[in-house]
């Protein structure tokens, strides 16, 4: 029988990092992945003369001279395996109903200056916002390094603002800062990346993301996120690890006192191990992959709210961005800047709010001369796609895609229809298929008030409810998104290495 | 002086609120429902009908629809709803090998969904097709996998008029499209089929196609190589298209390689943009070569195999010949389904390099279109 110190289930962003961390600690590790590629959402696909990025808009906190994610990649030994390219501007937010049209730069100073231009009188509140955000990011780095075992008096002394803002929503803090309404609207444009409304989303989570984008440098790999995933796989092979593709884990087996004792694979083989790191939602692990789950865990898992379900369109166009009339790299298009209202609108199939990227505006050579690559993404805040019958599926997805593209044309004046050479549409069904995500969710659990970043970081110990089982990925303690998923793999990988050393 | 955040009148109240974060979340988790966790959900269940993946197909009926061209009707063990133009792979043991081949689905989407049946049409071409035609028997069970492909009408990309150019066995996906328009499982475009064969009797399913062409959104033109009373003679060329096709259209081409190449030229001459020409490449066949043979070392999970690889055959065929179940779908380099890792050795890709950028950089390749040029050591994921 096969025996490993640890089995990592799922080679998504979290699982890849966890496997590297475990291997670096000297453990014997098997990484199993149901798909035939590493990366999970972090992948790419080809259609004709285009190679589409499956999910990454940009990797934040990755500055030329440091950044938490770059530091992590350095210590994993993967940074130099990847060819990086930088991103021109932060984002372009448009909401014609409220006459909002702003393009924001990277860099705190430039960002504040630009905001002052759009919203005179916003400067002081913006400076305060960034002061809070910096402190929050530092506090998180500290929590990460301590594996969540933080000393609260140290926290209050060194990261007082982190503690004082820690219980508030984005909305509450921005109001306290007396930030003008329009500046709040522009600043909060990223909210749909996290998928919770601002009255619900914890401020620390939002602020830490904004500063990672605006201040800490933003890059993306030329070979799409697939290049990162293959670089990590390469590192795993270098360190003597094994990756079994096309190999799903069916069950996590438990023995005495409910502790992990093995993994049953789809092909019927059993792998013996005492430690599993699952890059999978607890809802799936406890709901589909384990028997005799204690009631406490069932309740705690049922209590959580799934975050947005994904929908994306990938376009390869046969004209250049100039010819099509596309100005920016990264657009946010909203019906309303009131995220509470927008959130409600994003429950129905007629939702047309979107985060849209023109890859050539960041990386001009990403497609042949005279062509353009675009991605459109939206989220569904409810299970609207669950009601779509198989026989209506193709028509529904084309209707939704048409609405999103027409919305983009209407808000920006670009001309896309008639120039589409390649199109691929991913729906919640697609995400359920490739990642096994319940309801086709792409963001794990919602960053709600009660289940926000601070709460999860402080409860890492309590959340380990099965001996020998830790979680990583977009549903774990750092919440969703690329950098969060990488960090969660870092934390759970190192913690599991510690468990192994202690002979747990 | 650094800014100090304060929302409550007294800042210690902000601190007290902070200390409640953990108790609040604990309470929230304790108050969750004790009902069993969901084993599935609606999106996942619908997904399984759209992408059933591996199916068992029991052969119900086999009949010759034109000389050397056979229809195979299978009962599948799961309901399936697909977009016409999709293909599946059909797999079976043949002698000591295990092989799969891609075939377009000829039957209609509702048939697969409601009757759990699919029809494939197979022309005698070589190793596997000969097995199917000569040896497959009713009640035999096959592995059917899919659906796959990007050969369907996309309303956002394509014109409302589709010109379908079929050469020989290439008619299968278009029969499905016509059946789908007829039964109403798809809509929104008009289908103009140009079906080229050698002689009148090589036309498959002629009665049904004639009946379908009475639909307002379907018409069929037969083009015969052999001079035949009442039919245009020759190939499907610019002349006949200019005469019979609508003014603007999207072209779908399906047929042998030479036919696809010829049709592309004719369509370009008519002024079609590249984006309006859709064709799916055929599987890569043998390469004419010196007949050398190499050692192929294959890692699959924790197992290692050593097999022979001939330089006339793709690495995928070498695996299949050795009865190793390796994944494959399109066999033309484009779907990525056979994605494998090169550990050592050299190979040549035929039919164009369709890998992702980073695949080439990190030494991944598509065995279905790669021929060995030296001894090779590779890692292949198991076929499911
Ligand atoms: C999307 C798509 C849809 C298609 N739809 C249709 C359709 O509807 N109808 C249709 O008729 N065709 C269709 N085709 C084409 C069809 O797939 C090919 O005609 C078919 O693959 C030919 O297979 P063959 O084994 O008969 O031919 P071959 O070319 O002989 O088979 C390929 C390989 O088998 C190898 N081989 C020989 N001996 C052995 C052995 N002992 N063990 C293992 N391997 C061996 C050979 O080396 C050769 O390289 C489609 C193709 C695609 C890509
Ligand atoms: S089988 Fe499609 S790329 Fe090889």
User: HEC string of chain B?
Assistant: CCCCCCCCCCHHHHHHHHHCHHHHHHHHHHCCCCCCCCCCCHHHHHHHHHCCEEEEEEEEEEEEEECCEEEEEEEECCCCCCCCCCEEEEEEEECCEEEEEEEEECCCHHHHHHHCEEEEEEECCCHHHHHHHHCCCCCCEEEEEEEECCCCCCCCCCCCEEEEEEEHHHHHHHHHHHHHHHHCCCCCCEEEEEEEECCHHHCCCHHHHHHHCCCCCEEEEEEECCCCCCCCECCCCHHHHHHHCCCCCEEEEECCHHHHHHHHHHHHHCCCCHHHEEECCCCCCCCCCCCCEEEEEEEECCEEEEEEEECCCCHHHHHHHCCCCCCCCCCCCCCCCCCEEEEECCEEECCCCCCCHHHHHHCEECHHHEEECCCEEEECCCCC
Per-residue pLDDT of A54-94, as tens digits, reads: 999 999 999 877 789 999 999 999 999 999 999 989 999 99
Mean pLDDT (whole number) for A255-279:
97
Mean pLDDT (whole number) for A339-367:
95
Dist. CA A442–CA A440, nearest whole Å: 6
In this structure, the residue with its CA closest to atom 3 of ligand 2 is B333
Question: Nearest to residue A42, comparing CAs of A12, A8, A62, A19?
Answer: A12
Give the mean pLDDT of chain A. 95
With tokens 């007294």, the residue in question is B10
Does residue B312 line the site of ligand 1, with CB under 6 A?
no
- Shortest Cα–Cα distance, A76 to chain B (Å): 17
What are the DSSP E strand ranges found in A338-443? 354-358, 372-380, 420-426
Burial code (b: 16+ CB inside 10 Å, e: under 16) for A444-481 equals bbbbbbbbbbbbbbbbbeebbbbbbbbbbbbbbbbbbb
Share of chain B above pLDDT 90, in %: 92
CB proximity B33 to A under 8 Å: yes
The pLDDT of residue B280 is 86
Dist. CA B150–CA B153, nearest whole Å: 9
Does residue B119 line the site of ligand 1, with CB under 6 A?
no
Mean pLDDT (whole number) for B199-227:
97
> Are A36 and B361 an interchain contact pair (Cβ–Cβ within 8 Å)?
no
Name which of A447-451, B19-23, B79-83 the model is least confident about. Answer: A447-451
Name which of A99-103, A139-143, B55-59 the model is least confident about. Answer: A139-143
Mean pLDDT (whole number) for A315-319:
98
Q: Does the pLDDT of residue A388 top 70, yes or no?
A: yes
- Shortest Cα–Cα distance, B296 to chain A (Å): 20
Residue A32 belongs to what H/E stretch? strand A29-32
Backbone angles phi, psi at A256, to 5 degrees: -55, 135
Per-residue pLDDT of B36-71, as tens digits, reads: 999 999 999 999 999 999 999 999 999 999 999 999
Per-residue pLDDT of A427-465, as tens digits, reads: 999 999 999 999 999 999 988 778 988 899 889 999 999
Q: Does the pLDDT of residue A251 top 80, yes or no?
A: yes
CATH class of the domain comprising A6-56+224-294+465-502: alpha beta
Burial (CB < 10 A; 0-12, 13-18, 19+), residue A295, is exposed
Which chain B residues touch A305 with a CB distance below 8 Å?
none
Tell me the pLDDT band of A195, cut-offs 50, 70 and 90: confident
Per-residue pLDDT of B124-168, as tens digits, reads: 988 999 999 999 999 999 999 999 999 999 999 999 999 999 999
* CATH code, residues B47-148: 2.40.30.10
The domain limits of chain B are 47-148, 161-279, 293-379
Best probe residue, ligand 1, of B82, B90, B101 (max atoms within 8 Å of C-beta): B101
Torsion of CA A455, A461, A467, A470, to 10 degrees: 50
Residue A456 CB partners (closer than 8 Å, separation 6+): A463, A476, A477, A478, A479, B25
Share of chain A above pLDDT 70, in %: 100
B372 C-alpha vs ligand 1 centroid, how far in Å? 19
Please give the order of strands across the beta sheet that includes A91-95. Answer: A100-104, A91-95, A330-333, A354-358, A372-380, A309-317, A420-426
Comparing CB atoms, the residue among A173, A247, A433 nearest residue B301 is: A247
* CATH code, residues B293-379: 3.10.20.30
Comparing B309 with A146, the larger pLDDT belongs to B309
The domain limits of chain A are 6-56+224-294+465-502, 308-442
Name which of A255-269, A451-465, B318-332 the model is least confident about. Answer: A451-465
Does residue B320 line the site of ligand 1, with CB under 6 A?
yes
Residue A425 CB partners (closer than 8 Å, separation 6+): A311, A312, A313, A314, A397, A398, A401
Structure tokens at A31: 């990484």
> Given the CA of residue B366, which atom of ligand 2 is nearest to it?
4
B303 C-alpha vs ligand 2 centroid, how far in Å? 23
Residue B187 CB partners (closer than 8 Å, separation 6+): A395, B181, B217
- Shortest Cα–Cα distance, A230 to chain B (Å): 7
Tell me the pLDDT band of B18, cut-offs 50, 70 and 90: confident
Ligand 2 lining (C-beta closer than 6 Å): B 328-331, 333-338, 366, 368
Residue B134 CB partners (closer than 8 Å, separation 6+): none
Residue A104 belongs to what H/E stretch? strand A100-104
Per-residue pLDDT of B263-312, as tens digits, reads: 999 999 999 999 999 998 999 988 998 889 999 999 999 999 999 999 99
Q: Does domain B161-279 have CATH number 3.40.50.80?
A: yes
Evaluate if pTM is beyond 0.90. Answer: yes
The pLDDT of residue A1 is 62
> Are A459 and B22 an interchain contact pair (Cβ–Cβ within 8 Å)?
yes
Q: Does the pLDDT of residue B1 top 60, yes or no?
A: no
> What is the separation, in whole angstroms, between the first and last Cα of chain B?
63
């Amino acid at each position: 029988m096969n025996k490993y110190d640890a089995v990592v289930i799922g080679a998504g962003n979290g699982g890849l990092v966890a496997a590297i961390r475990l291997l670096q600690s000297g453990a014997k590790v098997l990484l199993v992945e149901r798909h035939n590629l590493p990366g999970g959402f972090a992948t790419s696909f080809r259609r004709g003369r285009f190679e589409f990025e499956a999910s990454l808009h940009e990797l934040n906190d990755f500055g030329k001279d440091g950044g938490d994610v770059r530091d992590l990649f350095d210590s994993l030994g993967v940074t130099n395996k990847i060819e990086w390219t930088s991103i021109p501007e932060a984002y372009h937010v448009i909401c014609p109903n409220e006459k909002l049209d702003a393009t924001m730069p990277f860099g705190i100073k430039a960002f504040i200056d630009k905001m002052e231009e759009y919203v005179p009188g916003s400067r002081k509140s913006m400076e305060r916002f960034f002061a809070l955000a910096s402190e929050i990011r530092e506090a998180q780095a500290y929590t990460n390094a301590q594996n969540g075992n933080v000393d609260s008096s140290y926290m209050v002394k060194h990261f007082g603002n982190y503690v004082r803002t820690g219980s508030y929503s984005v909305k509450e803090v921005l109001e306290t800062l007396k930030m003008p309404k329009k500046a709040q609207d522009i600043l909060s444009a990223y909210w749909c990346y996290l998928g919770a409304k601002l009255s619900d989303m914890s401020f620390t989570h939002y602020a830490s993301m904004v500063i990672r984008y605006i201040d800490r440098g933003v890059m993306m790999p030329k070979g799409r996120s697939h290049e990162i995933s293959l670089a990590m796989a390469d590192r795993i092979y270098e360190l003597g690890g094994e990756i079994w593709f096309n190999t799903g884990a069916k069950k996590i087996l438990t023995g005495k006192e409910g502790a992990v004792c093995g993994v049953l694979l789809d092909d019927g083989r059993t792998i013996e191990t005492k430690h599993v790191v699952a890059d999978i939602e607890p809802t799936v692990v406890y709901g589909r992959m384990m028997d005799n789950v204690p009631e406490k865990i069932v309740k705690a898992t049922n209590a959580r709210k799934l975050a947005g379900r994904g929908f994306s369109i990938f376009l390869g166009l046969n004209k250049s961005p100039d010819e099509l009339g596309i100005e920016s790299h990264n657009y946010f298009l909203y019906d309303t800047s009131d995220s509470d209202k927008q959130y409600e609108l994003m429950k129905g199939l007629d939702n047309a709010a979107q985060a849209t990227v023109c890859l050539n505006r960041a990386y001009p050579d990403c497609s042949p001369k005279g062509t353009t690559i675009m991605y459109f993404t939206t989220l569904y805040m409810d299970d609207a796609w669950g009601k779509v019958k198989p026989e209506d599926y193709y028509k529904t997805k084309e209707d939704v895609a048409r609405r999103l593209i027409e919305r983009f044309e209407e808000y920006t004046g670009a001309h896309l229809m008639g120039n589409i050479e390649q199109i691929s549409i991913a729906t919640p069904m697609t995400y359920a298929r490739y990642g096994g995500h319940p309801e086709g969710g792409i963001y794990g659990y919602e960053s709600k008030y009660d289940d926000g970043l601070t709460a999860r970081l402080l409860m890492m110990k309590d959340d380990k409810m099965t001996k020998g089982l830790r979680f990583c990925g977009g549903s774990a303690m750092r919440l969703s998104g690329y950098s969060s998923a990488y960090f969660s793999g870092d934390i759970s990988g190192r913690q599991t290495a510690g468990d192994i050393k202690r002979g747990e | 002086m650094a800014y100090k955040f304060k929302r409550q009148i007294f800042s210690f109240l902000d601190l007290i609120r902070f200390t409640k974060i953990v108790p609040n979340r604990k309470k929230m988790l304790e108050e969750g429902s004790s009902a069993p966790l969901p084993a599935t959900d609606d999106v996942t269940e619908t997904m399984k009908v759209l992408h059933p993946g591996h199916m068992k197909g029991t052969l119900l009926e086999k009949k010759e629809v034109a000389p050397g061209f056979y229809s195979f009707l299978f009962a599948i063990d799961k309901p399936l709803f697909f977009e016409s133009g999709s293909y599946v792979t059909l797999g079976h043991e043949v002698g000591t090998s295990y092989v799969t081949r891609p075939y377009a689905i000829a039957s209609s989407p509702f048939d697969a969904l409601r009757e759990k049946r699919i029809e494939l049409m197979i022309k005698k071409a070589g190793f596997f097709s000969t097995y199917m035609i000569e040896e497959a028997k009713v009640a035999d069970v096959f592995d059917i996998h899919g659906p796959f492909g990007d050969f369907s009408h996309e309303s956002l990309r394509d014109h409302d008029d589709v010109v379908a150019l079929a050469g020989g066995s290439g008619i299968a996906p278009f029969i499905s499209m016509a059946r789908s328009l007829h039964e109403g499982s798809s809509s929104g475009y008009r289908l103009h089929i140009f079906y080229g064969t050698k002689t009148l009797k090589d036309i498959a399913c002629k009665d049904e196609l004639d009946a379908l062409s009475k639909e307002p959104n379907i018409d069929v033109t037969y083009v015969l190589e052999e001079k035949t009373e009442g039919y245009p003679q020759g190939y499907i060329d610019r002349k006949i298209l200019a005469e019979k096709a609508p003014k603007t259209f999207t072209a779908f081409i399906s047929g042998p390689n030479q036919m696809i190449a010829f049709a592309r030229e004719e369509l370009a001459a008519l002024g079609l943009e590249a984006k309006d020409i859709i064709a799916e490449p055929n599987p890569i066949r043998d390469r004419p070569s010196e007949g050398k043979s190499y050692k192929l070392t294959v890692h699959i999970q924790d197992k290692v195999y050593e097999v022979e690889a001939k330089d006339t055959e793709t690495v995928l065929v070498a695996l299949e010949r050795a009865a190793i179940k390796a994944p494959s779908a399109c066999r033309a380099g484009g779907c990525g389904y056979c994605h494998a890792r090169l550990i050592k050795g050299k190979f040549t890709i035929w039919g164009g390099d369709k890998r992702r950028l980073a695949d080439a950089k990190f030494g991944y390749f598509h065995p279905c279109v790669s021929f060995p040029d030296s001894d090779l050591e590779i890692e292949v994921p198991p076929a499911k």
